[in-house]
Amino acid sequence: MTRSLFNGIPVTELRSPDGASALIADHGAHLLSWKLGDGQEVLYLSERSRYGASDAIRGGVPIIFPQFGERGSGKRHGFARVCDWQLQSSGVEEERAVVRYRLDSEQAASFGWPHDFELTYEIAFTAKELTLTLDVQNRGATSMSFNAALHTYLNVADIAAVEISGLQYANYIDQVQGGIQAVQDDAALVINSETDRMYLDVQKPLIMSCRQRSLSIRKQGFADIVVWNPWAVKAAQLADMAPDGYRSFVCVEAGAIEHAITLGAGESWRGVQSIAPGKARP
């Protein structure tokens, strides 16, 4: 484990026994990089991302909590991704590299969310799998409701060559089309224009395939899946992304979005997202 600065913010670098590596920022407990044993980068990180105290990092895996987008009266996508989390532990456990972070209501008091809570986040990886585990505990005396998601940016060589399978016959909300609901008929989703879909209550694992690799994506606790790419027009409007940056990623994120999670006093909830690399598509 190595502690250092990356673009001015504290980060932890870990390496697993089989040669994979990861870079995690205290800011947002943000996973910035996961490289396989051969050095291949699985995650996308914008070369123009900002790294200030109040800035959300563009790329990697931002943690969305306690609200998704505009679904609430607080900060868009919540405050967890712009808070400085407390590093709890890091090292190698059972042949996996593992790092754990913590955030509670005292650390996030300036955002005014009226609940006593604790978040713990574990990043565990080898060259064969990355597992992200978010735990939410209600420490207060009354119930609390929230949304949560792991907004994962997957690195691709060419967005035009990406296919995502496992979503056929799934119901989704199409944000690009004004929030209409539809059912996906195609066996695989191809990204060839602005895409912002929330697939509801997805049970199957997904396969994201492109020319350099395939990725198996599984989840537990999270009901929904969001697939997002801004495409050319919106990417050009993002100050923290190069105009052609949309070509190099697709976001496939596990989320508890359409139906908020409600915890009674003392109750806890866990959401898990796992990513495993496979062979490239011919």
Q: Are 42 and 132 in contact (CB under 8 A)?
A: no
Instruction: Return d(Cα 206, Cα 254) in angstroms, integer.
Output: 11
Instruction: Give the pLDDT band of residue 282 (cuts 50, 70, 90).
Output: low
Phi/psi for 205 (5° steps) reads: -70, 155
Task: Spell out the domains of the chain, with CATH numbers in brackets.
Answer: 2-278 (2.70.98.10)
pLDDT score of 281 more than 60:
no
pLDDT score of 77 more than 90:
no
Question: How high is the pLDDT of residue 224?
Answer: 98
Question: How high is the pLDDT of residue 75?
Answer: 80
* Section 47-74 average pLDDT: 90
pLDDT score of 87 more than 90:
yes
Encoded tokens for 65: 């909590």
Q: Are 152 and 43 in contact (CB under 8 A)?
A: yes
pLDDT of 216-235, one tens digit each?
A: 999 999 999 999 999 999 99
pLDDT score of 254 more than 90:
yes
